Chains A and B, each alone.
Chain A
Amino acid sequence: MKRYRLQLMVCAGTGCVSNHSVEIKDALDREIEKHKLQNEAEVVFTGCNGFCGAGPIVVVQPDGVFYQLLKTADIPHLVEEHLLKGRPVKKLMYSPPAEKIPIPKMSDIPFFSDQTLIALRNRGMIDPEQIDDYIARGGYKGLVKALTMMTPDEVLKEIKSSGLRGRGGGGFPTGVKWESCKHAHGDIKHVICNADEGDPGAFMDRSIIEGDPHAVIEGMIIGAYAIEKVHQGYIYVRMEYPLAIKRFQIAIKQAREYGLLGENILDAGFTFDIDIRRGAGAFVCGESTALMASVEGKPGEPRAKYIHTVERGLWERPTCLNNVETWANVPQIILKGAQWFSSIGTGDVSADPWGGSKGTKVFSLAGKVNNTGLVEVPMGIPLRDIVFKIGGGIRDGKKFKAVQTGGPSGGFIPESLLDLPVDYEELTKVGSMMGSGGMVVTDEDNCMVDMARYFLAFTQAESCGKCTPCREGTKQMLDILDRISVGEGTEEDLVTLEDLSNVIVESSLCALGGSAPNPVLTTLKYFREEYEAHVKDKKCPSHTCRKLNTYSIDEKICLKLGHGCHVCVKHCPDAAIIGERKQVHYIDPAKCSKCGVCYDVCNFKAVQVA
């Protein structure tokens, strides 16, 4: 293998690719060739680094110098200064929002330094399309250990005592699930990887697959070995993630070529293979029974789980379904031992598998924070640390309002509860949930009624329609929220919302309906004054609900800065704006339908909202 003085790791996650990281790599190759450095420096693609807001990213190894927000025009300068003259380029480095001092090393940037990596341990370090890269970083060692040195029962015991719990959100102990599936009657069993990451604002699974697909595959093989009688596994990936599907296809092909999938794996007499099934854009298919129906080629409708899927799942056979992140944790647990894993996190799982939250959890941090991206933190870390230390606080110096965890099934957590440790039970206690790990931060400009309405509109649209509470109940709730957001709500509506919520939670068939009211319940609990402002004063405090706003034009700004540019007149659908070019413009309140287009299109911020 050839050795290089420098390696330039170009991030090829979806975020960076759409910001032209492929062109960045081409430019780097060109410049390196120009300076005849081909034998000293190598440019490689890696999986997602997680710091998606800073893309495109290039990390120069072995020093770990981190460059962000690169443009192709920066590359000649970067190659000449850093690669040729050995002077890292400061202006392309990351500097924290408050200070303006650049931090050269990736490991010193707070976004990275406060993380603990297990599921994401290979991020930015390997080319996800090369199995050799994965193996060089210790990949498939866990599988070798399991297949050659451990019995299936020993593997199961290890997973059970590690305290690993389902990372898809429910937090069911993985070892207990495996054990039930192992003990279920049946000669043919299946394992499934749930990569139908439908929660809006969640992209942990996408990044794991795109950055390290073999970790998931290795975990599945180990699981199949431990459960026994499993020879066929499925990965169910949503079709919105084309790159993830491609990476899985490549990884499976390579694993087959290396004899890690197929017949007689590692000569241990164990046969197992994996196929990919594409999701078709239905959120409910993230639910285990709906997902299995979809794999069988049916509409993805859940069923009541009187009989669990570990006993009767896919094609009526015992089926063990785990989330991407859960599978990705498995090889490390086998390799490093249950004790190592359970030393991270909260509580005690030695007696009760539900007794604590162990290991790490990957969150996708997005919304109004400075550092958006993927973070892996030990269980038990306070939410505040994630938002303010790793996330770097709120954008543009605005005020924090709430953090939303758990997607449409979760809730909003206000500032007063920010010191809450991240743990399955603690988050459920305050009305939210761990969920798959989406974490969306909102600031003072976001309206909580609007956010609750957004989530309800989402679950309403995604409800499969099988059971009445979810199908009809969410529709009624959405109607009420729609009314409130246009100023037609009454105080009684708030009571009805709570009543409906309780009924839906109690009586829905699956977790989609059962948790759909959470965003409404938590916002009603922690931000009731915002609802009251909409209902009583007919005002939206953050001016998000546009029908409750009044728009006017600041004469001074319009004339002095905009010189009466007339753009608003062109866009106004109601012909409500009066004014000639180069003159002051006015809005006729009688005609204005409060659509807010003028506010959006004015380049001079002359349109005022009240």
Chain B
Amino acid sequence: MEYDTHTKAEEIICRWDRKPENIIEMMHDIQNEFNYLPRDVLFEISKEARIPLSKIYSIATFYNAFSLKPKGKHRICVCLGTPCHALGASRIVNALERELNIKRGDVTPDMKFSIEETGCVGTCGLAPVVIIGEDLFGPVTVDGVPRLLKKYESK
């Protein structure tokens, strides 16, 4: 493991007192730090916090928030809440897929964008909603998708 990764992992484990019951919180911080759960970091937690790797794996695959594969630099999440669905969220996903030439759940080859569907983000007044990184957009239209992506292409 690289030195940098190692220190970051160590810091996160210490932040949560190495307590096994704080495993989900640790994994949140790792996901936020690395954009996914790197294999060697999970090994590190298993060793340091004394949690079997199988248990970590079961948590990582149970919860939608965690991913064992790297996500794009700009994570695009399309809200699939009811109001978003009723106002055509699936068309927005299709438009994003067309525009980026990848399927939902995938990452672009340059690792810039990934498309995901997410549970309701609770900004139903703005439906249909798309979240890119930490920015929230709504109401999004099919025509507006290329313009939306353009902002991030150069970033």
0 or 1 for each of A51-86: is its CB under 8 Å from B? (1 = yes): 111110000000000000000000000000000000
Task: Tell me the complex Cα distance, A601–B92, Å.
Answer: 11
Q: Is there a chain A Cβ closer than 8 Å to B64's Cβ?
A: yes
Q: Is there a chain A Cβ closer than 8 Å to B78's Cβ?
A: no
Report A-chain residues with C-beta under 8 Å of the C-beta of B65.
239, 279-281
Binds B, one of A195-203, A345-353, A495-503: A195-203
Task: Tell me the complex Cα distance, A581–B11, Å.
Answer: 61
0 or 1 for each of B39-72: is its CB under 8 Å from A? (1 = yes): 0000000000000000000110011111000000
The residue that A440 contacts in the complex, of B22, B27, B83, with Cβ under 8 A, is B83
Report A-chain residues with C-beta under 8 Å of the C-beta of B119.
198, 200, 238, 240, 281, 283
Known contacts A239-B65, A280-B65; A203/B137 CB under 8 A: no
Task: Tell me the complex Cα distance, A404–B85, Å.
Answer: 13
Report B-chain residues with C-beta under 8 Å of the C-beta of A367.
82-83, 86-87, 124, 127
Task: Tell me the complex Cα distance, A278–B25, Å.
Answer: 7
Q: Which residue of B lies closest to A458 (CB)?
A: B80
Report B-chain residues with C-beta under 8 Å of the C-beta of A446.
86
Report A-chain residues with C-beta under 8 Å of the C-beta of B100.
none
8 Å CB contacts to B: which residues of A284-335?
294-300
8 Å CB contacts to A: which residues of B118-139?
118-127, 134-138
Report B-chain residues with C-beta under 8 Å of the C-beta of A455.
82
Interface size on B, residues (CB 8 A): 44
8 Å CB contacts to B: which residues of A260-285?
277-283
0 or 1 for each of A196-230: is its CB under 8 Å from B? (1 = yes): 01111111001100000000000000000000000
The residue that A404 contacts in the complex, of B82, B91, B134, with Cβ under 8 A, is B82
Q: Is there a chain B Cβ closer than 8 Å to A372's Cβ?
A: yes
Q: Is there a chain B Cβ closer than 8 Å to A533's Cβ?
A: no
Task: Tell me the complex Cα distance, A458–B84, Å.
Answer: 13
The residue that B63 contacts in the complex, of A197, A201, A281, with Cβ under 8 A, is A281
Contact check, B137 vs A18: say whether CB atoms are below 8 A apart: yes
Q: Is there a chain A Cβ closer than 8 Å to B111's Cβ?
A: no
Q: Which residue of A lies closest to B77 (CB)?
A: A240
Contact check, A454 vs B82: say whether CB atoms are below 8 A apart: yes
Q: Is there a chain B Cβ closer than 8 Å to A250's Cβ?
A: no
Give the contact-size bracket for chain A: 35 or more
Q: Is there a chain A Cβ closer than 8 Å to B94's Cβ?
A: yes
CB of B39, distance to nearest CB on chain A (Å): 19
Report B-chain residues with C-beta under 8 Å of the C-beta of A21.
none
Contact check, A200 vs B120: say whether CB atoms are below 8 A apart: yes
CB of B32, distance to nearest CB on chain A (Å): 9
Q: Which residue of B lies closest to A301 (CB)?
A: B62
CB of A377, distance to nearest CB on chain B (Å): 17
CB of A577, distance to nearest CB on chain B (Å): 15
Q: Which residue of A lies closest to B142 (CB)?
A: A600
Q: Which residue of B lies closest to A438 (CB)?
A: B82
Report A-chain residues with C-beta under 8 Å of the C-beta of B136.
14, 17-18
Q: Is there a chain B Cβ closer than 8 Å to A15's Cβ?
A: yes
Q: Is there a chain A Cβ closer than 8 Å to B98's Cβ?
A: yes
Report A-chain residues with C-beta under 8 Å of the C-beta of B148.
none
Report B-chain residues with C-beta under 8 Å of the C-beta of A600.
91, 94-95, 142
The residue that B82 contacts in the complex, of A54, A299, A440, with Cβ under 8 A, is A440
Contact check, A368 vs B122: say whether CB atoms are below 8 A apart: no
CB of A567, distance to nearest CB on chain B (Å): 10
Task: Tell me the complex Cα distance, A231–B59, Å.
Answer: 28
CB of A11, distance to nearest CB on chain B (Å): 11
Known contacts A18-B136, A404-B82; A206/B125 CB under 8 A: no
Q: Is there a chain B Cβ closer than 8 Å to A427's Cβ?
A: no
Task: Tell me the complex Cα distance, A600–B25, Å.
Answer: 42
Contact check, A19 vs B126: say whether CB atoms are below 8 A apart: yes
Task: Tell me the complex Cα distance, A40–B79, Å.
Answer: 42
Contact check, A197 vs B122: say whether CB atoms are below 8 A apart: yes
Q: Which residue of A lies closest to B129 (CB)?
A: A18
Contact check, A18 vs B135: say whether CB atoms are below 8 A apart: yes
0 or 1 for each of A572-610: is its CB under 8 Å from B? (1 = yes): 000000000000000000000001010011010000000
Q: Is there a chain A Cβ closer than 8 Å to B143's Cβ?
A: yes
Report B-chain residues with C-beta under 8 Å of the C-beta of A404.
82
Task: Tell me the complex Cα distance, A455–B85, Å.
Answer: 10
Task: Tell me the complex Cα distance, A239–B82, Å.
Answer: 19
Report A-chain residues with C-beta under 8 Å of the C-beta of B143.
601, 603
CB of B146, distance to nearest CB on chain A (Å): 11
Which among B25, B98, B125 has the highest number of chain A CB atoms within 10 Å? B125
Question: What are 20 A-B pairs with beta-carbon distances under 8 A?
Answer: A15-B125, A51-B125, A52-B123, A52-B124, A198-B120, A200-B83, A200-B85, A201-B124, A240-B120, A240-B121, A242-B134, A281-B63, A281-B65, A281-B119, A297-B21, A372-B125, A440-B82, A464-B62, A597-B94, A601-B142
Known A18-B137, A239-B28, A571-B98; further 16 A-B contacts with Cβ < 8 A: A52-B125, A197-B122, A198-B120, A200-B82, A200-B84, A200-B120, A278-B28, A280-B24, A280-B66, A281-B119, A367-B127, A372-B83, A372-B125, A458-B80, A464-B62, A600-B142
Which residues of B are interface residues toward A (Cβ below 8 A)?
20-25, 27-28, 58-59, 62-66, 80-87, 91, 94-95, 98, 118-127, 134-138, 142-143
